[in-house]
Chains A and B, each alone.
Chain A
Amino acid sequence: MTVPSVELICPAGTPAALQAAVDAGADAVYLGFRDETNARNFPGLNFSRPELAAGIAYAHARGAKVLVAINTFPRAGKPEIWHRAVDDAAKLGADAVILADIGLCDYARRTHPDLRLHLSVQASASSAEAIKFYHQAFGIRRAVLPRVLTVPEIAALCADVPIEMEVFVFGGLCVMAEGRCSLSSYATGHSPNIDGACSPASHVRYVEKGSKVVSQLGDFTINSFGQGEAAGYPTLCKGRFSANGKLSYLFEEPTSLNTLEILPDLIGAGVTAFKIEGRQRGRAYVGSVVSAFRQAVDAILKGEKLPVMTLEDVTEGGRQTAGAYQRSWR
Chain B
Amino acid sequence: MTDVGPNLAKLSLGPLLFNWPAEQIRDFYFRMAEEGPFDTVHLGEVVCSKREPFFAKFIPEVMDRLTTSGKEVVISSLALVMAEKERQGVRALAEADFVVEANDISAALALVGRPFHVGPFVNVYNEGTLVYLSGMGMKRVCLPAELSGATLAILAAQKSCEIEVQAFGRLPLAVSARCYHARLHDLHKDGCQYVCAEDADGLAVDTMDGKPFLAINGTQTMSERYVNLLGQVRSLGQAGVSRFRLWPHHCDMVAVGRLFRNVLDGQLDAKAANRQLAELVPDAAFSNGYIHGLEGHRLIDDDLLIA
Contacts and interface: CB of A to CB of B under 8 A. Distances in A.
Interface of A: 73-77, 79, 100-104, 106-107, 123-130, 132-134, 136, 148-149, 153, 156, 175-177, 179-183, 185-189, 191, 193-194, 214, 218-224, 240-244, 246-248, 250-252, 324, 327-330
B128 A107 contact: yes
Contacts of B177: 148-149, 177, 324, 329-330
Give the interface size bracket for B toward A.
Answer: 35 or more
29 contacts: A73-B123, A73-B126, A74-B128, A75-B126, A76-B155, A101-B125, A102-B105, A103-B131, A124-B80, A124-B123, A127-B81, A129-B107, A129-B110, A133-B108, A176-B221, A179-B123, A180-B121, A180-B175, A182-B145, A186-B214, A186-B223, A194-B125, A219-B211, A221-B211, A223-B208, A224-B208, A242-B205, A250-B180, A330-B178
A43 B171 CA distance: 30
Contact of A77 (B79, B151, B174, B289): B151
B284 to A, nearest CB: 16
A38 B181 CA distance: 33
A251 B126 contact: no
A125 B105 contact: yes
Interface in B78-97: 79-84, 86-87, 90-91
A126 B129 contact: no
B24 interface: no
Nearest to A148: B177
Given A102-B129, A148-B176, A251-B221, A241 B208 contact: yes
Contacts of B155: 76
A241 B110 contact: no
A112 B154 CA distance: 27
B108 A189 contact: no
A106 B132 contact: yes
Contact of A183 (B131, B190, B214, B290): B214
B146 interface: yes
Nearest to B84: A156
Nearest to A179: B123
Contacts of A175: 176, 178
Contacts of A194: 125, 146
Contact of B294 (A130, A153, A180, A189): A189
B132 A130 contact: no
Nearest to A129: B106
A130 B123 contact: no
Contacts of B214: 183, 186, 241
A74 B183 contact: no
B295 A327 contact: no
Interface of B: 79-84, 86-87, 90-91, 104-110, 121, 123-133, 144-147, 150-151, 154-155, 171, 173-180, 182-184, 188-190, 203-211, 213-214, 216, 221, 223, 289-290, 293-297
B174 A183 contact: yes
A240 B213 CA distance: 12
Nearest to B195: A244
A302 B198 CA distance: 52
Contacts of B104: 126-127, 130
Contact of B174 (A75, A104, A133, A176): A176
A309 to B, nearest CB: 28
A194 B184 CA distance: 31
Contacts of B295: 185-189, 218-219
A182 B146 contact: yes
Contact of B82 (A107, A127, A246, A250): A127
B228 to A, nearest CB: 15
A139 B221 CA distance: 33
Nearest to B176: A176
Contacts of B81: 126-127, 129-130
A180 to B, nearest CB: 5
Nearest to A187: B295
Given A153-B83, A182-B146, A248 B211 contact: no
Given A129-B109, A221-B208, 10 more contacts: A101-B128, A102-B132, A128-B87, A133-B106, A133-B108, A185-B146, A189-B289, A220-B211, A251-B178, A330-B178
Contacts of A123: 105, 123
B213 A241 contact: yes
Given A104-B128, A182-B296, A250 B184 contact: yes
A54 B196 CA distance: 53
A186 B90 contact: no
A220 B210 CA distance: 10
A187 B81 CA distance: 27
Given A130-B106, A148-B82, A246 B184 contact: yes
A153 to B, nearest CB: 6
B128 to A, nearest CB: 2
B174 A181 contact: yes
A130 B102 CA distance: 12
B146 A191 contact: yes
Contacts of B174: 176-177, 180-183
Enumerate the 4 nearest inter-chain pairs by beta-carbon distance, A residue then B residue, closest first.
Answer: A103-B128, A129-B106, A148-B177, A186-B296
A209 to B, nearest CB: 9
Contacts of A74: 125-126, 128
A244 B215 CA distance: 11
A330 B126 contact: no
A196 B280 CA distance: 38
Contacts of B216: 243, 250
A187 B190 contact: no
Nearest to A180: B175
B208 A247 contact: yes
B130 to A, nearest CB: 7
B210 A242 contact: yes
B296 A129 contact: no
